[in-house]
Amino acid sequence: MRSYYASAVGAIAAIGALFTTTTASAYNDDYFNPNYAYPNTTNKMQEYHSTFHYEFTRTLLRAAGFTADEAEKAAVTCQATDWQLFTSKTGSAMHGYFVGYTGLKVSVNNTSRIDVYQSRFWHFPRRAASTSTPSLTYPAVGEVSGIKSNTCDYFSTSNVCKDPKKPELSIIDDWAINGNSRAISGAGYSGISTPTVSVNGANQNPVAGKVWGFGVYLHSLADSFSHEACMKTNQLNYHPEQESKDSATYSTAFPQCSSENVHGNFRATTEVPAAEFNGGNPKIASYPNNDPTLPWTKAAGRAVYASARLFASKNLGTRTELWSEADRNTFIDGFAALGTATKRADCALKAWDSLAKGEKTPPVCQ
């Protein structure tokens, strides 16, 4: 196994390998419905994307007290964090930005999934037990079974956390939630730079302490849960096929870490259930807790919501929660139990509409 950060030569080789393999994203459950008109017939979803990173995240933010505009900005940025140097279903290069239902267009730089340094930092981050602000503790083992609060604890033989008390996600949340503009640049990680964001085609700008930066953080936070099984079983903080063109071998040797096994085949012509939400993939029958209510999705939803409340209190002012804790967790668990991206998108969109109407109880996911 390799050390945490590859050599320059290894990085170049890994980037080359990625162009020949599936560049599937964490929580990329491949949702795209060109006939789904929302909120009107002229605004249709523009890209294949993750229902967790976009529809689900923005609904949770809205329930946490964000305005619809704030929730949309953060959620579009959350999905756009995956979009730098992305490859489409047809194999052609995509345009580098993500467009939400409202037409908001966001692109994010310095968070590329095909750069070996950036991928490990932004898309495979390890968590500490809490954010850099002690008032927020991530879901503990006792709250959602099958997960760790501090995922540095999984690593003992290789890829050991640079600082187990302040792993990658703590650096990111210090930048995004606390507004520490030097958190990323001062962390001392090779190949890592502070992200910049472009909104609706404008110039790229720094985003620390703003809703846009919080969207980037939410992406990394969710990825820290969706990749946890790989960390738990193999002590890897990257997809092995990113390190070798022999993806078939790695898929067999490390099934919990294979991007195609875990995230589904992004270029498949039909909808493929992703393992984060619903098992069903015979290649990963041994996937830990492989069932329709996968605990990492439940934990990630709770962490996104708790982080939204913390960010709002520090940066947006007093905000009222729109759902009770019991209703919120029922919604999260119901979303996690759904077996297809279309059902998950529908669940989140109905809940978004329900919040807009002022309804106090989310609709049942089914």
In terms of phi and psi (left: phi > 0; alpha: psi -120 to 50; beta: otherwise), the region of 51 is alpha
Domain presence at residue 95: yes
Q: How many domains does the chain have?
A: 1
The confidence score (pLDDT) of residue 327 equals 96
Domain presence at residue 361: no
Domain presence at residue 196: yes
Domain presence at residue 2: no
Query: Which range is most confident: 39-43, 101-105, 278-282, 301-305?
Result: 301-305
Assign 28 a pLDDT band (cuts: 50, 70, 90): low
Q: What is the pLDDT of residues 249-299, one digit of tens each?
A: 666 677 778 776 666 655 555 555 544 544 445 555 544 444 544 678 888
- Tell me the residue type at 50: S
Domain presence at residue 363: no
Whole domain around residue 146: which residue ranges? 8-356
User: Per-residue pLDDT averaged across 155-168, rounded?
Assistant: 88
Beta-strand ranges (E) seen in 119-253 are 196-199, 205-206
pTM above 0.75, yes or no: yes
Domain presence at residue 366: no
Residue 21 has pLDDT above 50, yes or no: no
**Pairing outcome for strands 105-109 and 98-99:** antiparallel
Domain presence at residue 3: no
Q: What is the pLDDT of residues 72-112, one digit of tens each?
A: 999 999 999 987 655 544 555 556 788 888 888 899 999 98
- Mean residue pLDDT of the chain comes to 77
The side-by-side arrangement of strands in the sheet containing 98-99 is 98-99, 105-109, 196-199, 205-206
Domain presence at residue 125: yes
Q: What is the pLDDT of residues 205-222, one digit of tens each?
A: 888 779 999 999 999 999
Secondary structure (H, E, C), 153-178? HHCCCCCCCCCCCCCHHHHHHHHHCC
- Sorted by sequence, the CB contacts under 8 Å of residue 65 that are 6+ apart come out as 308, 309, 312, 319, 320, 321, 322
The confidence score (pLDDT) of residue 159 equals 86
Interatomic CA distance for residues 232 and 230, integer angstroms:
5
The confidence score (pLDDT) of residue 344 equals 85
The confidence score (pLDDT) of residue 341 equals 76
Are 50 and 29 contacting, i.e. CB atoms less than 8 angstroms apart? yes
